[in-house]
């Protein structure tokens, strides 16, 4: 998600007339787009800002901006520890990057942190390093409450992007010659649950409902459900798209119809990144993950049976508070 946001920030700055440089010493604007999922990211940021202080003293006109999750979380601390930073902006106002830099030139250092997003990052200009592939944000935020994760606090509640808008973007990408896309979301396989829940609460479907949730849902029983599999199939059917990937799914939301779509549709890559986090049921409960180790393995087995050549990758946390040697051994057993 941060890589995608960085592409959008680069696109905004280039639209504003700037050009990329590999030399920090030559740059007029330096943007540090941060992540705070690991403590080392905090240390790295403040180390970089310390190095940039000298550059700012030598060249007062150079502008330094800090964006992303760490800016969302530590807005005041960044300003306190690095007063030479010109702009601090969070995860919800990437679209304002250029404007804030211009305002800072006139009015001095600015901190602007919003609690809700103004727009999806995919709606902004973009500068891609790869010419054949693109990230497509289908959802922002997360409604889960995993004990180890700060994402809900810095990215906000789960908000899905309209179905028709996503298809339109993918079609545009295909026309531009891109053949591979990766669907992005904090909990990508719950995409659309909020959209269907909102429409389900209405007595009558509004005009153009299919642009919000897709034709399949409108023609179905119209239950409040995720639309991820519908989207996966629709995106894969776009002419010119040869590969479709997605990240990251949550094990509790991996549904049989998604596995079936991966097995049926050639364009969907045979790769499943399914975060385990721990093989100990006690630790999984402490993490608030919503599944057991056996349930996780059942889902992986179902996916492997449907897709014989499936590649599976995962995330594992070692040393979670309260973890014992027995819990660690349970994780090793599941990983094996």
Work out the average pLDDT over 246-257.
94
Q: How confident is the model at residue 23 (pLDDT cuts 50, 70, 90)?
A: very high
Residue 80 sits in the same domain as residue 148: no
Whether residue 316 sits in one domain with residue 249: yes
Based on the domain organization, do 180 and 259 belong to the same domain?
yes
Rounded to whole angstroms, how far apart are CA atoms 92 and 32?
Answer: 16
Query: What is the value of pTM for the model shown?
Result: 0.80
Of 74, 92, 112, the last residue of a domain is: 112
The domain boundary, picked from 112, 137, 163, lies at 112
- The strand pairing partners of 61, in sequence order, are none
Residues 104, 155, single domain; the answer is no
Contact indicator for 258, 210 with CB cutoff of 8 Å: no
Helix residue spans in 201-315 (DSSP H):
209-213, 215-219, 228-236, 256-264, 281-287, 293-306
pLDDT reported for residue 127: 60
For residue 81, what is the domain's CATH number?
Answer: 3.40.50.12160
131 falls in which pLDDT band (50, 70, 90)?
Answer: confident
Structure tokens at 81: 């520890």
pLDDT of 278-324, one tens digit each?
999 999 999 999 999 999 999 999 999 999 999 999 999 999 999 99
Average pLDDT over residues 78-94: 92
Confidence of residue 123 (pLDDT cuts 50, 70, 90): low
**Residue 326 structural domain:** 121-335
Number of CB atoms found within 10 A of residue 264's CB: 12
Considering its fold, how many domains does the chain have in total?
2
Same domain assignment for residues 216 and 97: no
* Same-domain status, 146 and 267: yes
Helices marked H in 60-162: 69-73, 75-81, 97-107, 151-155
- Find the mean pLDDT for residues 173-186: 93
Angle among Cα 135, 4, 257 to the nearest 5 degrees reads: 40
- Boundary residue ending a domain (112, 142, 171): 112
Q: Residue 36's pLDDT is what?
A: 77
64 and 125 both lie in a single domain: no
Same domain, 261 and 158: yes
For range 180-205, the mean pLDDT:
92
Tell me what pLDDT residue 125 has.
59
Query: Confidence class of residue 128 from pLDDT cuts 50, 70 and 90?
Result: low
Cβ burial, residue 86 (10 Å; 0-12/13-18/19+): buried
Q: 110: alpha, beta or left, given left = phi > 0 and alpha = psi -120 to 50? A: beta
Write the CB contacts of 329 (distance below 8 Å, at least 6 apart in sequence).
none
Domain shared by 224 and 279, yes or no = yes
pLDDT level of residue 124 (50, 70, 90 thresholds): low
In a 13 Å sphere around the CA of 131, the CA atoms on its Cβ side amount to 1
Nearest-angstrom CA–CA distance, 118 and 248: 23
Integer Cα distance of 134 and 7 in angstroms? 10
What distance in Å separates the CA atoms of residue 310 and residue 281, rounded to the nearest whole number? 25
Q: In this model, does residue 37 exceed pLDDT 80?
A: no
CA distance 23 to 287: 42
Residues 219 and 277 in one domain: yes
User: What CATH number is attached to the domain comprising 193?
Assistant: 3.80.30.20
Mean pLDDT of 147-176: 90
Considering the domain architecture, whether residues 159 and 94 belong to the same structural domain is answered as: no
Same domain? For 64 and 93 the reply is yes
- As a whole number of Å, the CA-based R_g of the chain is 22
Tell me what the pLDDT averaged over the chain comes to: 91
Residues in the chain: 336
CA dist 232 and 246 (Å) reads: 9
How far is Cα 152 from Cα 142, in angstroms, rounded to an integer?
Answer: 5
Structure confidence at residue 120 (pLDDT): 58
Report the range of poorest mean pLDDT among 3-17, 78-92, 119-133, 315-329: 119-133
Quick one: pLDDT band at residue 126, thresholds 50, 70, 90? low
Confidence of residue 117 (pLDDT cuts 50, 70, 90): low
Strands 159-160 and 139-140: antiparallel
């Amino acid at each position: 998600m941060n890589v995608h946001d960085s592409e959008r920030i680069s696109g905004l700055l280039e639209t504003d007339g700037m050009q990329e440089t590999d030399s920090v010493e030559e740059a007029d604007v330096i943007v540090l787009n941060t992540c705070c999922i690991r403590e080392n990211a905090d240390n790295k940021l403040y180390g970089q800002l310390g190095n940039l202080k000298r550059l700012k003293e030598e060249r007062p006109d150079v502008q330094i901006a800090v964006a992303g999750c760490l800016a969302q979380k530590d807005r005041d601390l960044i300003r306190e520890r690095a007063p030479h930073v010109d702009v601090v902006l969070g995860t919800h106002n990437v679209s304002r990057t250029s404007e804030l830099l211009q305002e800072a030139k006139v009015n001095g250092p600015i901190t602007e942190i919003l609690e809700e997003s103004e727009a999806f990052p995919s709606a902004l200009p973009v500068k891609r390093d790869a010419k054949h592939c693109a990230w497509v944000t289908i959802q922002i935020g997360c409604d889960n409450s995993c004990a180890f994760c700060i994402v809900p606090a810095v990215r906000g509640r789960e908000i899905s992007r309209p179905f028709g808008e996503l298809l339109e973007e993918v079609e545009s990408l295909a026309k531009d010659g891109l053949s591979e896309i990766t669907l992005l979301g904090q909990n990508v396989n719950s995409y659309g649950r909020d959209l269907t829940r909102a429409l389900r609460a209405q007595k009558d479907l509004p005009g153009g409902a299919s642009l919000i949730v897709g034709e399949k849902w409108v023609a179905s029983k119209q239950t409040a459900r995720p639309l991820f599999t519908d989207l996966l199939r629709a995106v894969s059917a776009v002419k010119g798209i040869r590969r479709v990937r997605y990240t990251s799914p949550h094990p509790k939301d991996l549904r049989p119809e998604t596995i079936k779509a991966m097995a049926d549709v050639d364009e969907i890559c045979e790769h499943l990144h399914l975060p385990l986090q721990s093989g100990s049921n006690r630790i999984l409960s402490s993490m608030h993950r919503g599944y057991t180790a056996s349930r996780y393995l059942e889902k992986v087995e179902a996916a492997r049976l449907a897709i014989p050549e499936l590649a599976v990758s995962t995330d594992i946390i070692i040393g979670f508070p309260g973890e014992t040697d027995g819990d660690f051994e349970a994780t090793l057993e599941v990983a094996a």
